[in-house]
Each structure stands twice: as structure tokens, then as C-alpha cells.
């Protein structure tokens, strides 16, 4: 079982700039929740001027609680984001977020996760059809990090996830393999590797993750490009394109630009 949360910056554009402007940290959930929850992520800010941040979303559902200044706490379910996510923070505030493992929200939701893809739904709007949404009574943004994580543990435990769910267990393993194995480049070959038809794999991913396996492969590869660009000197783009299965450097540039809104060269210049 994992002993610490992920330490990478995958998907976060200009992560160094983010860390200079806000307090950002990750914590693991209670052990009983770790089969489905990747980590909790907490953000606090006290800004004298607006700060804009962009993220290339993971293939994961997030539940996000936010409080601006002394205002009320709000909560929402954010399905897998298909496009670049942009947010501008002002003044003071706090966010306490839950990032589920890809496929890990299904045991709580118990419906096709594709219903949420590309959407951000306030908990209040989901309460009629999803009983757990009625349980939010606040407190996720209050107190110390330990207090906030404890409140999130209580909330998710109260949502009573479906524990016997072999299909979700399978898709979580498959997505983990895509994330960590650079040789996974084609959906048909990946399906054959696991004794599945391409159609079965597509249905499984859409129902449990919310997007298809091809989208997941492309998203993880472009996130790796973004992370390498931010970690040091500009990469050898042609070599990186070949390593990650792009047909050529131009293919990588097109995918990068579509995901981030700028070319790889422009992104590396923006980090200076």
C-alpha cells in the first residue's frame, strides 16, 4: 500500500510559479479509501493581486471544496476535464480537493462516470439523484491540514463506496499500467495484451473512467512531455517524440499545442 502521495507536477503548467504564489500540498487518505482515492490536495492563498493558473487535467474525477475569504464553503464534482483548465485566484481562500484514481469514483457514483465528463457539477445540483451529495455540511476547508483530511475521510467513508467491484479494480490496474509503461501506445495492442476486445476495453473505460483508453494514453504522454519541459533544459523534442510514440516531432508539437494552447518552445520560454 502506498506510504506517501505522488510528488510529481504532471499536468500543472509552470509548477514553480504556482508554488511561489500559493501553499499547495498533497496528503494520502485513510488506508481504507486508498483503493479508490489518489490523494487529497490542499491549496491556501493570500494574494495582493490576481493569480492565474492552468492545468492539463488528469483522467480522474475530483471532488472540490472551496471557500473564498470569509464566505461559505462550496462543493462540486469535477468530471474528467477534456480541455485546459484555467482558474484565477484572488484575495484569500482555501481549497480542499479529492483526486480519485482513474476509475475510482465509480464505486461512489455507481453510474456511468461518462455522465460527468467535461462537466463541473455543484453538489447541491446532484443531491436529488445522488444521495451522498446531501451529506455536505461544510468543514472541509476548516482547521489544520490534519483537520481537513480527517473531514474528507469522514465524508468519503460516509458515502459508502461499493467495495465488491471487480470491473473497477480491473480498470484501475489498466490505467496504472498506461501511466507507468511508455510502451503502451496503441489501444488494440493493449487490449490484446490483456485478453480483451477493443470494444470491451472502450466500454469499460467509458463507464468507469469517463473517457476512452486512447484519450488516456494521449493524455498521460502529453503530461510527461509537459513535466520534462518544466524539469530542466529544453528536451530534445525529436528524441522525446520518438520515445513516447509520436510519429514525428511535428506530431508531438500539434498534440502539445492542442493540450496547452502553446507550442513546446513557447512553453519552455514562458518558464524562464
Q: What is the per-residue pLDDT across 106-132, written as a single tens digit (0 to 9) for each? A: 999 999 999 999 999 999 999 988 999
Alpha-carbon separation of residue 108 from 103, 117, 118, 148, 226 (angstroms): 10, 16, 19, 20, 31
Average the pLDDT over 31-44 and give the result: 98
Looking at the DSSP bridge assignments, the partners of residue 214 are: none
Average the pLDDT over 80-107 and give the result: 98
List domains and CATH numbers for the chain.
15-158 (2.60.40), 166-270 (1.10.10.60)
pTM confidence score: 0.95
For residue 269, name the pLDDT band (cuts at 50, 70, 90): confident
DSSP string of 127-162, one letter each residue: TTT-GGGGG--S-TTSSSHHHHHHHHHHHHHHT---
Q: Of 97-111, 119-133, 163-177, 219-233, which gets the smallest average pLDDT? A: 219-233
CA distance 259 to 226: 10
Q: What percent of the chain has pLDDT over 90?
A: 82
Average the pLDDT over 4-32 and give the result: 94
Phi, psi (rounded to 5 degrees) for 35? -60, -25
Report the chain's mean pLDDT, rounded to a whole number.
95
Nearest 10 degrees: Cα torsion 78, 81, 85, 89: 10
Amino acid at each position: 500500500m502506498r506510504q506517501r502521495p505522488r510528488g510529481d507536477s504532471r499536468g500543472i503548467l509552470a509548477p514553480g510559479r504556482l508554488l511561489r504564489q500559493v501553499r499547495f500540498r498533497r496528503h494520502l487518505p485513510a488506508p481504507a479509501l486508498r483503493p479508490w482515492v489518489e490523494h487529497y490536495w490542499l491549496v491556501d492563498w493570500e494574494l495582493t493581486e490576481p493569480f492565474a493558473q492552468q492545468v492539463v487535467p488528469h483522467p480522474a474525477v475530483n471532488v472540490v471544496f472551496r471557500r473564498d475569504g470569509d464566505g461559505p464553503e462550496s462543493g462540486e464534482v469535477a468530471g474528467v476535464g477534456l480541455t485546459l483548465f484555467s482558474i484565477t485566484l484572488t484575495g484569500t481562500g482555501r481549497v480542499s480537493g479529492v483526486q480519485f484514481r482513474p476509475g475510482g469514483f465509480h464505486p461512489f457514483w455507481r453510474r456511468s462516470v461518462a455522465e460527468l465528463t467535461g462537466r463541473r457539477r455543484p453538489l447541491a445540483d446532484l443531491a436529488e439523484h445522488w444521495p451522498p451529495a446531501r451529506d455536505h455540511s461544510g468543514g472541509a476547508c476548516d482547521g489544520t491540514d490534519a483537520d481537513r483530511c480527517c473531514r474528507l475521510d469522514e465524508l468519503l467513508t460516509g458515502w459508502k463506496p461499493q467495495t465488491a467491484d471487480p470491473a473497477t479494480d480491473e480498470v484501475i490496474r489498466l490505467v496504472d499500467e498506461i501511466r507507468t509503461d511508455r510502451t503502451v501506445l496503441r489501444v488494440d495492442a493493449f487490449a490484446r495484451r490483456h485478453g480483451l476486445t477493443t470494444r470491451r476495453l472502450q466500454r469499460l473505460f467509458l463507464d468507469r473512467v469517463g473517457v476512452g483508453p486512447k484519450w488516456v494514453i494521449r493524455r498521460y504522454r502529453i503530461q510527461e512531455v509537459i513535466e520534462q519541459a518544466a524539469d530542466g533544459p529544453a528536451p530534445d523534442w525529436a528524441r522525446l517524440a520518438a520515445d513516447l510514440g509520436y510519429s514525428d516531432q511535428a506530431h508531438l508539437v500539434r498534440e502539445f499545442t492542442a493540450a496547452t494552447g502553446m507550442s513546446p518552445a513557447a512553453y519552455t520560454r514562458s518558464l524562464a
